[in-house]
Every structure is written in structure tokens, then in C-alpha cells.
Amino acid sequence: MGLFGEKYHYLAKIIEALNEYPERFEGEQAWQELGRPTITLPEYAQQAV
């Protein structure tokens, strides 16, 4: 495999690791200050069409 292919293989492994990393929810403080969202992301996207 060439150098170009090796770079993409490495990048794919990094992206895979990031996708498997558990995310910590960090919106609680914003929800307390601003209230819970009144619209979901899919609803917002549908309005933009």
C-alpha cells in the first residue's frame, strides 16, 4: 500500500476511535439558563427546505 493509502487508513482509524468515544452531555447548564429546546434538529432542518 502506498503512502497516500496509509494516510487514509490512519485517518479512518482515528475517525473510528472518535466515533466510539462516549460523549458527555454538556447542555444541562444551558437548559437551566435558557430552557429546554422547543424544536428538534430534524424539525429545524425540515423548515429550512
Q: Which tens digit of pLDDT belongs to each residue from 2-23?
A: 666 888 999 999 999 999 999 8
Q: What is the pLDDT of residue 2?
A: 64
Cell numbers for 17: 476511535
Q: Higher model confidence: residue 5 or residue 35?
A: 35
CA-based end-to-end distance of the chain: 43
- Predicted model pTM: 0.42
Grouping H, G, I as helix, E, B as strand and the rest as coil, residue 15 is helix
Task: Give residue 29's pLDDT band: very low, low, confident or very high (50, 70, 90).
Answer: very high
Q: What is the pLDDT of residue 1?
A: 53
Looking at the structure of the chain, the number of domains it has is: 1
Q: How far out from the chain centre does Cα 18 lie?
A: 10
Q: What is the pLDDT of residue 46?
A: 93
Sequence-distant (≥ 6) Cβ neighbours of residue 4 within 8 angstroms: none
Domain that residue 41 falls in: 3-48
